[in-house]
């Protein structure tokens, strides 16, 4: 495939703008570690919200959605749509708590909530575990998608894609810090959305597909259209719908969808001007992420079924693709090769934008863990601000190198998604309850982390997993593997919690005084403090969590109905679309009232 001069112009201008932003903010970003990682905590809600959306729009996301749609149909997306529930919980319950904590990273929370050597160990270990290991794995999935796009669309070797895409990204990330990431995300968001929407509109109308009506009527596509899974198919119902909605959203830690907030979402909440801006940013993110953004990718995925009905057709069209990189996720890149000059340049720029926004965020977030939670804690507690910024920039480069190397060994995005879900299974409930139940301690998190990791390794990488959960011959159904990990991990960490000593009164009272979490889960701590004539309750208002959960449920209804109504309008199913549009409007009105009662007008 040949790029025209117009295509190259779009891409060169885009790269120049991104690098220009990095150089422009490099001086202010390098002043101190707070500027480099949190931009001085001065960011408005709309800029942080756009940054969250841009960050989660990575090159592997349309590939992942395409893989899911081609394999399990549109309803297969419930494996990530379910995370809207925890997203709304973060908006209406946890966003203000994170901003009130005023920590530099979400891992610093550990030595606020817990005490002693276990808390110190947990903070430093998770800095490496999440900031390096999990972070590198996540970035490698994004880089793998870039490799596939480069291979299909430009005929590049994997190492060529890694070097060219990674070099610019790591340069502006190391120079601009968090401010550079957020400012470029503003640009990247609009470029990425324009490319995704433009590609979907054009590709649905190419002669091979024949337009939206022909696409909906195609025999290979018709069975893939349902937003809800086939309720008569027990396995599909359990795997694609019941487990995600009943268990997965609260039980599993997953980057960008952590129960109770965390990771780079927490980083943006911590960078907000105040609690109201933190809430506004996360709510805006969830609307854009779930209600509006998936459909351009879904449409391209459905169109790809018409043009490339199976892997053999992809292999035939692109014989240069190696066997170890061949998968259904390639279909998205394959469809993009049919774009005309000009639009092709915009779409390529949008994919580069998606790659850069995600990688730059992961790099800055991961290096913040290394700097604040490992280097400063373990190696050099007295490090100057200049030294901390220097270590942040060095770790940014090192993380990029590691993730690029791992990407060369992987095959597809869905494979990695399943592994990350398994490793986080059973830990999510702790992240939800640790704010509101005094009895959870550092050992709860330590045992959960190791239990889920060890169990996942045994099931994924040894014959035990194949024996128990193989599709055809396993002792147990293959869909029960995730449930097994959740149940066993939860039993282990609950046992560890009850068998170990609770945190000290000083630690618990200090945490309550600062955060004011409220609720029955802290009644013993509050009662004991009163007995000892220690005043820890500052907020005399009614506990806000029940009102927050009401707002959360209304937010879930609002966003799901907008998402499904959009799909039915596209499908041409007018009756369902009208009903869902009306329901979304009602939910929106009720949510505004609930939100005003809960927090007031945050904007």
Residue 422 confidence (pLDDT) above 80: no
Q: How far, rounded to the nearest angstrom, does the alpha carbon of residue 41 sit from its chain's CA centroid?
A: 22
Residues contacting residue 392 through CB under 8 Å, at least 6 positions apart? 33, 36, 37, 177, 364, 367, 368, 370, 371
Residue 414 pLDDT > 60: no
User: C-alpha angle 265/268/270, rounded to 5°?
Assistant: 110
Query: Confidence band (pLDDT; 50, 70, 90) for 601?
Result: very low
- The CA distances from residue 287 to 197, 252, 600, in Å, are 17, 21, 19
CATH class of segment(s) 1-23+36-82+128-241+276-411: mainly alpha
pTM over 0.75: yes
Please, are residues 563 and 533 in contact by the beta-carbon 8 Å criterion? no
CA distance 298 to 225: 10
Q: Give the residue with greater pLDDT, 166 vs 136.
A: 136
The rounded mean pLDDT for the chain is: 82
Please tell me the distance from the alpha carbon of residue 113 to that of residue 515, in angstroms, as a whole number.
10
With vertex at residue 157, the alpha carbon angle to CA 152 and CA 158, rounded to the nearest 5 degrees, is: 90
* pLDDT value at residue 603: 38
Helices and strands of the chain, counted as H and E runs: 32, 0
Residue 182 pLDDT exceeds 60: yes
Distance (Å, whole) CA 308 – CA 83: 30
Q: How far apart are CA 326 and CA 304, in angstroms?
A: 15
As beta bridge partners, residue 252 has: 425
Other residues' Cβ atoms within 10 Å of the Cβ of residue 389: 22
Question: With contact defined as beta carbons under 8 Å apart, do 483 and 242 qualify?
Answer: no
Q: What is the pLDDT of residue 55?
A: 74
The most confident of 193-197, 471-475, 554-558, by mean pLDDT: 554-558
More confident of the two residues 228 and 180: 228
- pLDDT tens string 320-353: 777 767 778 888 888 988 888 888 888 887 777 7
Q: Tell me what pLDDT residue 475 has.
A: 46
State the average pLDDT over residues 422-435: 86
Q: Which residue has the tokens 């879930």?
A: 556
Structure tokens at 188: 């990247």
Evaluate whether 252 touches 419 at the Cβ level (below 8 Å).
Answer: no
Contact 145, 415 (CB under 8 A): no
Residue 253 three-state SS: coil
Q: What are phi and psi of 462, to 5 degrees?
A: -125, 165
551 class by beta-carbon count within 10 Å (0-12 exposed, 13-18 middle, 19+ buried):
buried
Tell me the residue ranges of DSSP E strands in 89-248: none
Q: How far apart are CA 263 and CA 15, in angstroms?
A: 27
Residues β-bridged to residue 432:
none
65 close to 298: Cβ distance less than 8 angstroms:
yes
pLDDT in tens, 51-85: 888 777 776 778 889 999 998 899 989 988 988 99
- CB contact set of 1 (below 8 Å; sequence gap of 6+): 153, 154, 155, 337
The residues, any chain, with a CB within 8 Å of residue 18's CB and separated by 6 or more, are 168, 172, 184, 187, 188, 356
pLDDT band at 36 (very low <50, low <70, confident <90, very high): low
Output the pLDDT for position 402: 85
Q: What residue has token string 């969830």?
A: 286
What are 577-586's pLDDT values in tens digits?
999 999 999 9
Q: Name the nearest CA neighbour of 178 among 7, 365, 356, 331.
A: 365
pLDDT at 517 over 80: yes
Q: Tell me the torsion sign for CA atoms 443, 449, 453, 459.
A: positive
- The mean pLDDT of 131-144, rounded to a whole number, is 81
Nearest to 39 by CA among 355, 515, 361: 361
- Domain range list for the chain: 1-23+36-82+128-241+276-411
Q: Which residue has the higher pLDDT, 124 or 539?
A: 124
């Amino acid at each position: 495939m040949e790029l025209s001069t117009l295509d190259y112009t779009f891409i060169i201008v885009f790269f120049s703008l991104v690098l220009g932003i990095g150089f422009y903010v490099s001086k202010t970003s390098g002043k101190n570690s707070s500027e480099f990682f949190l931009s001085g905590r001065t960011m408005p809600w709309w800029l942080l919200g756009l940054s969250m959306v841009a960050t989660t729009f990575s090159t592997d996301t349309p590939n992942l959605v395409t893989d899911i749609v081609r394999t399990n149909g549109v309803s297969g997306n419930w494996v990530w749509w379910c995370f809207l529930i925890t997203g709304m919980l973060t908006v209406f319950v946890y966003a203000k708590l994170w901003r009130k904590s005023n920590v530099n990273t979400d891992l610093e929370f550990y030595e606020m909530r817990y005490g002693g050597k276990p808390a110190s160990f947990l903070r430093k270990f998770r800095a490496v575990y999440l900031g390096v290991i999990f972070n590198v794995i996540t970035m490698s999935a994004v880089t793998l998608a870039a490799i596939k796009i480069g291979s299909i669309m430009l005929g590049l070797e994997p190492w060529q894609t890694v070097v060219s895409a990674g070099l610019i990204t790591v340069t502006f990330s190391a120079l601009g810090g968090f401010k550079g990431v957020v400012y470029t995300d503003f640009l990247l968001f609009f470029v990425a959305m324009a490319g995704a929407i433009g590609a979907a509109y054009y590709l649905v109308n190419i002669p091979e597909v024949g337009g939206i009506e022909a696409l909906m009527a195609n025999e290979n596509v018709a069975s893939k259209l349902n937003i809800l899974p086939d309720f008569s198919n027990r396995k599909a119902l359990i795997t694609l719908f019941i487990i995600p909605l009943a268990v997965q959203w609260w039980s599993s830690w997953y980057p960008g969808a952590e129960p109770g907030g965390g990771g780079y979402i927490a980083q943006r909440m911590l960078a907000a001007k105040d609690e109201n801006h933190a809430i506004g940013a996360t709510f805006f993110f969830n609307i854009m992420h779930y209600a509006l953004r998936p459909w351009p990718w879904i449409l391209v995925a459905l169109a790809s079924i018409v043009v490339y009905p199976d892997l053999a057709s992809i292999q035939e069209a692109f014989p240069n693709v190696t066997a170890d990189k061949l998968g259904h996720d390639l279909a998205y890149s394959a469809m993009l090769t049919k774009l005309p000059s000009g639009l092709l340049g915009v779409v390529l720029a949008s994919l580069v934008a998606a790659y850069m926004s995600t990688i730059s965020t992961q790099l800055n977030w991961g290096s913040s863990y290394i700097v604040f939670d490992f280097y400063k804690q373990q190696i050099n507690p007295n490090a100057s601000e200049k030294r901390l910024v220097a270590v942040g920039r060095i770790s940014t480069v090192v993380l990029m190198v590691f993730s690029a190397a791992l990407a060369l060994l992987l095959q597809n995005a869905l494979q990695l998604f399943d592994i990350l879900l398994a490793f986080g299974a059973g830990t999510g409930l702790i992240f939800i309850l640790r704010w509101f139940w005094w009895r959870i301690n550092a050992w709860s998190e330590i045992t959960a982390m190791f239990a889920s990791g060890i169990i996942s390794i045994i099931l994924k990488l040894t014959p035990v997993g194949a024996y128990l959960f193989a599709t055809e011959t396993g002792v147990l159904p293959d869909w029960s593997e995730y449930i097994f990990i959740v149940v066993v991990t939860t039993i282990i960490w609950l046992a560890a919690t009850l068998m170990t000593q609770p945190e000290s009164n000083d630690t618990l009272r200090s945490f309550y005084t600062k955060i004011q979490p409220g609720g029955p889960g802290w009644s013993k701590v509050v009662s004991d403090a009163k007995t000892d004539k220690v005043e820890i309750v500052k907020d005399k208002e009614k506990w806000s969590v029940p009102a927050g959960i009401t707002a959360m449920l209304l937010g879930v209804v609002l966003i799901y109905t907008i998402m499904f109504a959009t799909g039915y309008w596209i499908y041409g199913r007018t009756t369902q679309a009208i009903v869902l549009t009306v329901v979304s409007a009602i939910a929106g009105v009720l949510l505004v009232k609930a939100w005003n009662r809960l927090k007031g007008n945050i904007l």
